Amino acid sequence: MANAVEVTDDNFAAEIETYEGLAVVDFWATWCAPCRMIAPIVEALATEYAGTVKVAKLDVDNNTKTSARFNVRSIPTILFFKDGKLVDQVVGAVPRPALEAKFKEHA
């Protein structure tokens, strides 16, 4: 993921909750087939919105505290934070237009 940062339980607050602007976090796991399906879409949007939107990925298997804190029960789950506050979410492998619409809505 060239244009997405990896976040963890340890750096989530610093990377996402103190970020001014739109931050999008993809909650995923290596074994998750739908996560692998949506990953190229997330990467493409990260490239297109570079400098405007911060895109991050969080591995749910290695970061259970943050996943539990935001009640992530299904993956992929993509959370949208505006100025550090959770404002929206997308659950499941959705088509690119649906995900891009959320980027445009909040950016």
**Active site (annotated) includes residue 13:** no
pLDDT band at 1 (very low <50, low <70, confident <90, very high): low
Task: Render pLDDT for 10-29 as a digit per residue (tens, 0 to 9).
Answer: 999 999 999 999 999 999 99
Is the domain covering 4-106 a CATH 3.40.30.10 domain? Answer: yes
Q: Where are the domains of the chain?
A: 4-106
Check 7, 22, 35, 55 and give the catalytic one. 35
Stretch (H or E) spanning 41? helix 33-48
Rounded to a whole number, what is the largest CA-CA distance in the chain?
Answer: 32
**Active site (annotated) includes residue 35:** yes
Q: How far apart are CA 99 and CA 41, in angstroms?
A: 8
